[in-house]
A and B are shown apart, each in its own frame.
Chain A
């Protein structure tokens, strides 16, 4: 509660001081970030004497299919599980296959009471004690015949970990197991297993050991004109097939630009253009549209997809055909946001009142004997979600805890990493919780994917005593049931501008449209085009459909549209920057700030604001403010009639990429500017930011990515315009008003007082005409 309030405080006072702020909605320090395993063993150890259960020698023809979608996977805590889906080509599915898994774990994990399990299509194929504290362990198992299916398969990795000696809740944060990406794969004896045969096998595209899928698009005609839009279309099509957390495109006129290990190479161009560069083409390319895998002889063993034909119409038709299988028509509602490539089940899309059981959300009934139970689910909400100020969702929890559990234990619920509810377990005699309502504020909900973590911290006397072997105790203390429900009420739906979170979450406002989105790009060079491909591919995934684009170099063409501007900061017209609230001086200062050696701002420079703040903290008025903030989540900033005005933002080091959103000059659409000090940083930055989960941290009116390629800062928008997305209805208007007034409290108060005064006056007039008067 207190921390939520504190982070809110920070958020609201962030205007104009972006760099100084930690990322908003950050993980609270109460709980370590799940992606960040605690003290880690030195991961690399010389090929040790460790008796590996796996024979080192492998046949050379062995084909590997890496399994982890996002690089090394860390499973922290006492229980953790991860499921995702896996597409296999028919060749991969039919032949004999062997599952390999490499992992290492924290030294404090007790092998005798900890287990690692792998399930493939709900069949346990591995079940082993966790005992790899010394370094990477590799294990392997032959898969039973007919276990794998052509197409979609589901894989689950699950751990149960116990501490060797410690029984505290804090100690559970020291537990982790890391699945090594490079050592975790399916191996197929059939060499053909590595070769995709049909276009649909694009779905089987796998990420490399770093969790990256590198796709190179070779378009010889790129330099010749306006085929950029076609490249973007192609990139979106590929992304919609593969739907991986990190797909990176590099677009070039020839193959020379890409040297890394490629997941896929795509050749795009007419028959003649490709032949001129010496590519081998499938037979049909001379006669009409063609889209097919075709082996090349240039030493690069990446699968190569050739999209070609006699002319541009032909290969455009081929792209359309590929896209047709995965695209979604404009205007329809989605059932779910597709996440299965890295996490199943897909996040259900919640458009309004919805009641989902935990089973539907992928949480099964489970009992637990440790001290910190953790589980979670994900869901998605539309871009026009407008209930962050007042809304409350609920979890109706079916659970139970035994009499061993002491009062003081609690269930915490985190939404997107911020604590949203805390329920104490107060009974001393255990209890079956039947539909226990847990209210979750919707403040931390955001358009697109949302992540909810439910954690139970269980205190027991036995843990307090912590006798030897106590951690291995197996009597269940806590159980959670799949019949629990997640209930979302109707919420206000109106889109806001600017809202980068909406763009990140669901591709809004570019996703839903039928018309081509004008994309302003000063120069159609390879770097800019690659960045645009990365950006739009990710947006297509968020939107669940391809977004048609049209490149332009005229600002006027974008004047009345939803448009995107991509380029180095110097390439963005000044008027456009002003429109999205970025100061004009950043055109020069940002680039120079990067060119310069860090100097100037020494640590002993005085900051008047900081001083004032520190002095204020001592007064009693601050104590009162603190108490209010703690008890009611209240701060002085809330006392406002309307949102405060915004000031222009000037990026500077260490920010290397800037996304800024604003209204177009006509006020009819949204302009988004994606820019960096130079084109190199642009490509690098977009490529990084378009990666999950970084992409999900887009929010506010301005988001920047720092040079470390990890830190994302966002400047919340204070003056927002609202854009109707739904047919007008009383109930929607009511909810929208409620949200706006909840954020602008003085307006609400004024409205209430005025309405009451009016009522009082009319009542008085009416009373003097009704009943007796004398």
Chain B
């Protein structure tokens, strides 16, 4: 305790010292040189991949430059109040920048030293608590649910202590009695089909009277009908690995006040950005920054929160708050805030233990993000974590960061438009000379990039955060404003994840992106014209024009994101390399399953009779499930085959005619969680700021071109379609 106090005082002194030095009104030259030196030190340290203390030293160096920028920005760049037309946009820009700096500060606090991955805790068989698995569903197809239920059932856990519940909100009484006959009919059919499925797989089917409080209400209904000590929640498309419970349940025995063990969400398919930019295989996914490092950082401060799925919760804790909270449309985080404030603890396990799907189209991606943003705004409004009683100071800061993050559409929009104020309307919203702007803003931007790289390097490549924020901002801005005006209005909308893109096309949400791109392009033209026509202020024009150009590059890259590529496979293949036998009754050949997807597998058959085995177009894969038991056969249809030396490579598709087949498919894809970890690791490279930036630039140029090609093709296609439609009418 004493040591902590002394260290705290020392830290305060050191911080005061840095602030004193930073806030000295030194001249431009001193800033420029000091900034360059600090940057050089940061770059030099980067060479040695600093860990621990040295990483923090590098971060505090960066912080010093950021603070110098803040000092300069605050003391000498805001336009005078007497010029309101400059002052108001100038102040907005200033606030936007300060928001960014504030969020950077919160991030620094959270991920200053993320917890290392936790070791699993072994629990004696006899002490294992009873677990209810909840799989809430609203409209997902049965085949998807079957895989998830089968995977849940296959989890390595004593069967007498594991109950799997399919919580169906698509077959409620309310739905089945809907006024619309077709809807009612569909609900009725779904009700029966899922009941049968559960019966076949050994799970419990549960539905309720009315669809009240959406997902939270559904889960609470499950709570009311079950009695296990722990609740594991999986979204309908989130199939758990066999080891899921073994890796998570142990923590509950260790800490009686533990209410949550959260695990990462791992996705088998790319999100629209990854698919359209083709980065899924080589670049870490968007959510890896959150699950790979932020949650670990939150975990240090006991603030890791519930993300709706892939988590285990304690019934006792949930009962204290009457189940899952349902004021906001992000019931998960809201529940966690509430329980944290009541002194319950959470734990984050940094290992992908479920595999799921993410929205395939840009539109559903935006829909999902709108829900998150609106939900977080509702939490901010109704629970206001920074002042919530019961939360510790670090927890308040953590929740502040998680909720305030979703205000990013505002600063993003301001950064996008700010240069145009100058280029189009000649407003001086940033009073500085070209030289000052260059010296301060450039050093700030480069240091910012460096710091991002220090913080998230392996998990987030340069400029990708900005790109994600930009593509979301365009549609999230109205969503966030609307929830601010009507905080109770938004309702829970289930994100569609099973869509597929059969033809290359522009997203239905793409129009604003093209308009913005055009606007920024005009800005570039105006820059050139003004440099030519008004040479006396060319320095400022060039600097502002450069900023606009940066926005244009970002907007151009976004054109690629909204140009949806046609996709052949709905889901990605995962490498498994598993022994099996291929053939039919009486003719079994040794084979190797190379990779699998939700729909099919690629098998390499050895032996001379291989050709004969595939001749019929149908065959079986026989293998021993990881969950134990005797070898079982999974029927497949041969899609293609190719002879390679002595072996035959065969692409085949599963035929799931029996419930047991679902179990086998689940065993193939979901049983082994290590394969997902391997896949993630293969993408976690840090390209560094320079190479990352060059790579991004190339990507942006190519995607701009692709977006424009899609646009032209779309225009041409609609012109061609029109006469055909006319002809059909006659």
Contacts and interface: CB of A to CB of B under 8 A. Distances in A.
State yes or no: do A and B come from one complex.
Answer: yes
Interface in B8-24: 8, 10-11, 14-15, 17-18, 20-22, 24
Given A390-B25, A756-B61, A408 B56 contact: no
Contacts of A735: 25
> Which of A410, A753, A760 lies at the interface centre, i.e. has the most chain B CB atoms within 10 A of its CB?
A760
A737 B60 CA distance: 22
Interface stretch (A285-293, A334-342, A743-751): A743-751
B82 interface: yes
A631 B38 contact: no
A376 interface: no
Nearest to A442: B27
Contacts of A436: 80
B34 A748 contact: yes
A757 to B, nearest CB: 5
Interface string A431-444: 00011110100000
Contacts of B83: 434-435
Contact of B30 (A390, A396, A770, A772): A390
A752 B21 contact: yes
B33 A745 contact: yes
B37 A407 contact: no
Interface stretch (A234-242, A358-366, A581-589, A632-640): A632-640
B25 A760 contact: no
Interface string B1-12: 001100110110
Contacts of A764: 52-53, 56-57, 113
Contact of A774 (B7, B58, B59, B115): B115
A389 interface: yes
A738 B536 contact: no
Nearest to B119: A774
A755 B22 CA distance: 10
Contacts of B310: none
B300 A407 contact: no
A394 B559 CA distance: 46
Contacts of B38: 749, 752-753, 756
A763 B24 contact: no
Contacts of A766: 4, 7-8, 10-11
Nearest to A491: B25
A761 B7 CA distance: 11
Contact of A639 (B33, B41, B537): B33
B113 A767 contact: yes
B32 interface: yes
Interface in B87-139: 112-113, 115-116, 118
B52 A769 contact: no
Interface stretch (B331-339, B431-439, B609-617): B431-439
A741 B26 contact: yes
Given A437-B431, A761-B57, A772-B302, A745 B29 contact: yes
Nearest to A410: B536
Contacts of A757: 57, 60-61
A324 interface: no
Contacts of A751: 21
Contact of B11 (A389, A631, A737, A762): A762
B34 A756 contact: no
A759 interface: yes
A766 B37 CA distance: 27
B320 interface: no
Interface residues of A, number: 54
A734 interface: yes
A742 interface: yes
A771 interface: yes
A409 to B, nearest CB: 9
B3 A769 contact: yes
Given A389-B27, A434-B82, A745-B34, A765 B60 contact: no
A725 interface: no
Interface in B28-47: 28-30, 32-34, 37-38, 41
Contacts of B59: 760
B299 interface: yes
Contacts of B24: 734, 737-738, 741, 748
A424 interface: yes
A761 B4 CA distance: 14
B64 interface: yes
Contact of B17 (A426, A759, A761): A759
Contact of B28 (A396, A435, A632): A632
A763 B34 contact: no
Contacts of A761: 53, 56-57
Given A741-B26, A751-B21, A760 B34 contact: no
Interface string A465-489: 0000000000000000000000000
Interface string A387-402: 0011110001000000
Contacts of B394: 770-771
A439 B115 CA distance: 49
Given A390-B25, A434-B83, A767 B56 contact: yes
A113 B189 CA distance: 101
Contacts of A759: 11, 14-15, 17-18, 57, 60
Contacts of B33: 634, 638-639, 745-746, 748-749
Contacts of A758: 14, 17
B426 interface: yes
B534 interface: yes
Nearest to A634: B29
Nearest to B108: A763
B301 interface: yes
Q: Which residue among B7, B80, B301 has the maximum number of chain A CB atoms within 10 Å of its CB?
A: B7
Contacts of B54: 760
Contacts of B26: 390, 738, 741-742, 748
Given A407-B534, A772-B115, A763 B11 contact: yes
Contacts of B7: 762, 765-766, 769
Contacts of A741: 24, 26, 30
Nearest to B535: A408
Contacts of B438: 631
Contacts of B434: 631
Contacts of A749: 30, 33-34, 37-38
B18 A756 contact: yes
Interface string A694-733: 0000000000000000000000000000000000000000
B104 to A, nearest CB: 15
A633 B80 contact: no
Contacts of B426: 426-427
A760 B118 contact: no
A170 B53 CA distance: 63
Interface in B375-416: 394
Contacts of B27: 389-390, 742
A436 B21 CA distance: 30
A766 B4 CA distance: 7
B161 to A, nearest CB: 27
A638 B64 contact: no
B430 to A, nearest CB: 13
A571 B31 CA distance: 49
The 10 tightest CB contacts between A and B, nearest first, are A760-B57, A738-B24, A764-B53, A749-B34, A759-B14, A760-B60, A390-B27, A749-B37, A760-B56, A771-B300
Given A748-B30, A760-B58, A764-B53, 11 more contacts: A632-B29, A638-B29, A639-B33, A737-B24, A749-B33, A752-B34, A755-B64, A759-B11, A763-B11, A763-B14, A763-B60
23 contacts: A391-B25, A408-B536, A426-B426, A634-B33, A639-B33, A737-B24, A746-B33, A748-B21, A748-B34, A749-B34, A752-B18, A753-B38, A756-B38, A756-B60, A760-B53, A760-B58, A761-B56, A762-B7, A767-B56, A768-B113, A769-B3, A769-B7, A772-B115
Interface of A: 389-392, 396, 407-408, 410, 424, 426-427, 434-437, 439, 631-634, 638-639, 734-735, 737-738, 741-742, 745-746, 748-749, 751-753, 755-772, 774
